[in-house]
């Protein structure tokens, strides 16, 4: 089954430049799935603002060199480049040097992922409920 995934580049969402970038020394061995614990968003315009706000918080409040995640996914399935491929993230302490961090935009502690997010996840239950 072939799917076309739209990836919005850092330039398209007007990311601030990172303070530094550390490359992964080898291929990522795993993917760590997160949620941003922020309001969800849909669409390029609204999500650009939300992701920029997440980046600003990570850099100013948490002291990260950039947004913590390698990629972020909005409710309709559009993927936004965070740190991108091959870059060490700041998403899972002790696991950043051999993984990629993918965050779904929203707070899913109390709800379900949208079926339109379109990414089959191991551990999903009841078709669309996150672990």
Write down the pTM of the prediction.
0.81
Mean pLDDT along residues 19-30: 93
Hey, which CATH number is domain 23-109, 1.10.10.60, 3.40.80.10, 3.30.365.10, 3.100.10.20?
3.40.80.10
The answer to whether 104 and 34 are in contact (CB under 8 A) is yes
Handedness of CA 89, 7, 119, 86 (dihedral sign): negative
Q: Please, is 79 exposed, middle or buried when counting C-beta atoms within 10 Å of its C-beta (0-12, 13-18, 19+)?
A: middle
Provide the pLDDT for residue 83: 97
Tens digits of per-residue pLDDT, 79-124?
A: 999 999 999 999 989 889 999 999 999 998 865 555 555 554 444 4
């Amino acid at each position: 089954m072939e799917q076309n995934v739209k990836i919005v580049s850092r330039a398209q969402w007007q990311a601030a430049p990172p303070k530094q970038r550390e490359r992964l020394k080898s291929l990522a061995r795993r993917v760590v799935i997160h949620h941003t614990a922020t309001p969800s968003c849909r669409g390029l315009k609204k999500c650009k603002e939300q992701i920029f706000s997440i980046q600003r918080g990570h850099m100013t409040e948490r002291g990260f060199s950039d947004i913590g995640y390698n990629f972020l996914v909005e409710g309709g399935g559009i993927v936004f480049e965070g740190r991108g491929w091959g870059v060490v993230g700041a998403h899972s302490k002790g696991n950043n040097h051999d993984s990629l961090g993918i965050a779904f935009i929203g707070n899913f502690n109390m709800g379900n992922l949208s079926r339109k997010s379109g990414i089959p996840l191991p551990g999903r239950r009841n078709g669309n409920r996150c672990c």
